[in-house]
Amino acid sequence: MSVDHDTFVREFVTAFNTKDADRLAPYLHPEVVFHSYGDDEVHGRDAVLQVWKNVFGAFERVEFDTVHQAVNGDVVIAEQVHGLALPGGPLAPVMNMAVYEMRDGLIAAWRDYSNPEYGRRLLSGK
């Protein structure tokens, strides 16, 4: 059974809350390209999953939520809150804008836009 792009991406974002990178795999095209601006592009599902294994290992809490989302054909644009907490630290509500391009029913391109300096400040509790 296929689901619409809106539901698919919302379920993908919810999967982050498990802190289990393997739960992200079914949503990603094998040739996915992930670009979190400020970092290098990451190519391929396995490489993207490794990025998130590292992130999940670094953070004590991960609580992602979708605020608003719009779909136009195979493009999904989502305003999100990436709640991240380092061990013993406060939950930092980092605002993020994500763009997903779908191909063959999976996420083939994924771009995250956020302000890393603002995120670092929130994570430090300042």
Q: For residue 87, what are the domain limits? A: 5-123
Q: What is the pLDDT along the chain (126 residues), one digit of tens a residue?
A: 357 999 999 999 999 999 999 999 999 999 999 999 888 999 999 999 999 999 999 999 999 999 999 999 999 999 999 999 999 988 999 999 999 999 999 999 999 999 877 777 888 876
Identity of the residue numbered 74: D
pTM of model > 0.85 = yes
Q: How many CB atoms lie within 10 A of CB 125?
A: 10
Closest CA to 77 of 44, 42, 103, 102: 102
- pLDDT of 1 reads 39
- pLDDT of 126 reads 66
- pLDDT of 120 reads 79
The CA-atom distances, in angstroms, between 103 and each of 5, 74, 77 are 10, 7, 15
Residue 83 CA to residue 5 CA, distance in Å, equals 23
Residue partners of 116: CB distance under 8 A and separation at least 6: 38
Looking at residue 11, which CATH number applies to its domain? 3.10.450.50
Number of structural domains (the chain) is: 1
- pLDDT of 122 reads 80
Closest CA to 99 of 110, 89, 91: 110
